[in-house]
Structure 1
Amino acid sequence: MKPVQPARPAIDARTAPLHLIVNPRAGGRRGGPDELTRQLTEALPPGTRRWHVHPPRSPAELPALAARVVARARSDGGVIVAAGGDGTLNTVVQALWEHPIPFGALPRGTFNFFGRQHGLPTDTDAALPHLLAAIEAGDMRPVQLGRIGDRIFLVNASLGLYPELLEEREEMKRRHGRSQWIARLAGLASLMRPRRSWRLHLTRTDLDGQRHREQREASTLFIGNNPLQLREVGLSDAALHQGGLGALTLAPVGRAGMLGLILQGLIGRLGRAQAVQDFAFSRLDIDLPGRRQVRIAIDGERIRLPLPLRVEVAPRPLWLLGARDTADSA
């Protein structure tokens, strides 16, 4: 199914209520529910726009909370805003994307690929005024989403090595903190351990409609929907500007080979590595014969999905408030 671009969501730019879903743990940054409440009280005094801050009681409650807030916004004509990292934004968008509701993001994660790609401020003091100005102006634009199975992704989805790396990274973060350096060191340590490989059965539809069936022995299948992230490691983002998605498979390598891949990724040349095969597609069907489900990483969060899986651009875009063209958008 080709993505469609429905009409812009209709909102009352002056009075639409503001619903903020806040992950207080995201990225170890200041700017949790109490800080946002203070900022909103100053920016929106009584008698102006109504606003509500919705913090989950625990991370596990976030999907149910997002669904409740979406239902409320559909009822009162409100705008939904998520404050957190890419995983938090994903959870909220999962509940919202099929409904004509504008979405705002206050990026507060470790890497913030989604916010950086779309020119959203990551500074706590600048992000909220930027968002409020966009709502007042009705400033929103459609943003492409990826879909794997029944799940949406903003930045990436993967199976194999990357979900395992995330699990070990989270354990290191719990012990030592949530900075980018901790995340990168955890990734390096994880990558140097021996890993199993997968026999992937892939059916790929190219951007020109041609279909290909193949089998690949790989330790990782990575699917990207974020030009900034792809370019940072030296992969092509051309497919994302043509209504498709980009992907790579990583062949099994030993420790020396993995160290070489890490170095090539750090200098932005991963796409030139012999063990890496990258490709563009409009649709990708994935199967692992003998398995009923597989662990997937979606925007930094790990879940299990049933096999086989279909990956494609979602049929509807996300209407993002306050997006700006940046050097990373080119």
Structure 2
Amino acid sequence: MPAPLFIILNAGSGHAETELQRTTIEDLLTAAGREFELAVVDQAGELADIARHMAGRACEAGGVLVAAGGDGTINTVARQAVESGCQFGVLPQGTFNYFGRTHHIPEDLGEAVQALLTARVESVQVGLVNERVFLVNASIGLYPRLLEEREIDKKQFGRSRLVALLSALKTVLGSYRHLHITVELNGKTRTLRTPTLFVGNNRLQMEQVGFAPLAERIEDGKLAALAPQPVGKLGMLALLARGALGRLADAPNLHAFGLTRMTVRQRGLAGRRRMKVAIDGEITHLDAPLVFRVLEGQLLLLKPVQASAQAGVEQMALAS
């Protein structure tokens, strides 16, 4: 029998939209005869506890833990899938959906549910920062502040990629402090002064900003790190423009490297032992130093069967 699905739906988009998402999931799975249990999360603070409970239920039943929401929701649920060892499914419902798009999971909810029904299990790489899972990226410095401002603007103007872009421009043109950090990498220590340190674990995101070589390193079991040198507001605007055009690799004064493990300390903390970190779009505080590392093969993701692969099998059958 197909494994039962234990689905967590984040209601962050509002009641009407959440009700439509809930009925879409329930109707399609009922019509397919698939056993499932659906939990709707109304309060963001309850997400982690509900994810932990549903992961336990999935393990007991030999089932699949499924996250329906944006990259932040997917991260929280995936953390429980990694810790419990159960299989993991995704129904992307966010603004950017980097994780879902990287693994060719449809953004349309109905199509994503149908794809989940025939998906195959494949182990995928996740990143860790101080043992906290990240699927897309983790960062310190300006980028977490950018995300905080973006959430404020989205509540006022709505969720869209245009709002996200305009919010980023506003943040970059404002005032912010540069980080002064030491980085231990491959047995060597280097000092960096940078507005932000960005560590990526998503091939699609790296390709979109123009770092195809680093994207390939992610496929080879590494994380990708970016740290611009202090360049002023106009320089940061130029970096944003290059990233939007997919030409960030051509930018001068930008440190870019692959890693499997890296320790980061902030100089001049003056007794402060916690650092603000953005993890897959969610802001948290972690104890210093920060240790970034790769965790390979620990997330058992249900990935859709690709149409190209099916076509290849059919062509081979016809040829024989």
Please report the TM-score for the alignment, with normalisation by the length of structure 2: 0.89
- Given the alignment, which residue of 21, 36, 44 partners 1:35? 21
Give distance in 2, aligned partners of 1:227 and 1:29: 33
Over 3 Å counting, the alpha-carbon distance change for 1:233 and 1:324 in structure 2 is: farther
Give distance in 1, aligned partners of 2:54 and 2:185: 37
- 1:208 counterpart residue number: none
- 1:195 counterpart residue number: 176
- 1:81 counterpart residue number: 66
Over 3 Å counting, the alpha-carbon distance change for 1:174 and 1:165 in structure 2 is: same
- The size of the alignment, in residue pairs, is 303
Deviations 1:209-253 (A, max 9, x none): xx2211101110000101110111112313212211110112222
Q: Is the 8 A contact 2:221 2:260 kept in 1?
A: yes
Correspondence 1:50-129 to 2 at 5 A: 50-129=35-114
Check if 1:232 corresponds to 2:213: no
Structure 2 residue runs of 5 or longer lacking an equivalent are: 309-320
Q: Is the 8 A contact 1:118 1:324 kept in 2?
A: no
- 1:17 counterpart residue number: 4
- SS of the equivalent of 2:83 reads coil
Give distance in 2, aligned partners of 1:307 and 1:39: 42
Give distance in 1, aligned partners of 2:200 and 2:252: 19
Give distance in 1, aligned partners of 2:234 and 2:289: 33
Runs of 4+ in 1 over 6 A off after TM superposition: none
Over 3 Å counting, the alpha-carbon distance change for 1:105 and 1:30 in structure 2 is: farther
* Offset, 1:34: 5.0
Please report the TM-score for the alignment, with normalisation by the length of structure 1: 0.86
Correspondence 1:176-195 to 2 at 5 A: 176-195=157-176
Check if 1:281 corresponds to 2:268: no
- 1:260 counterpart residue number: 238
Amino acid aligned to 1:21? I
Over 3 Å counting, the alpha-carbon distance change for 1:72 and 1:92 in structure 2 is: same
Identity %: 38
Structure 1 residue runs of 5 or longer lacking an equivalent are: 1-13, 206-210
Task: Compare the two structures and name the one with the higher strand fraction.
Answer: 2
- Given the alignment, which residue of 137, 143, 150 partners 1:169? 150
Amino acid aligned to 1:229? Q
* Offset, 1:29: 11
Give distance in 2, aligned partners of 1:246 and 1:30: 39
* Offset, 1:88: 0.4
Give distance in 2, aligned partners of 1:201 and 1:120: 38
Check if 1:222 corresponds to 2:198: yes
Give distance in 1, aligned partners of 2:60 and 2:236: 52
Give distance in 2, aligned partners of 1:262 and 1:144: 27
* Offset, 1:150: 1.8
- Given the alignment, which residue of 222, 226, 232 partners 1:244? 222
* Offset, 1:67: 0.5
Q: Is the 8 A contact 2:92 2:106 kept in 1?
A: yes
- SS of the equivalent of 2:193 reads strand
Q: Is the 8 A contact 1:118 1:325 kept in 2?
A: no
- 2:30 counterpart residue number: 44
* Offset, 1:168: 0.4
Give distance in 2, aligned partners of 1:324 and 1:268: 29
Q: Is the 8 A contact 1:119 1:326 kept in 2?
A: no
The 10-residue stretch of structure 1 (310-319 or 68-77) with the greater mean CA deviation from structure 2:
310-319
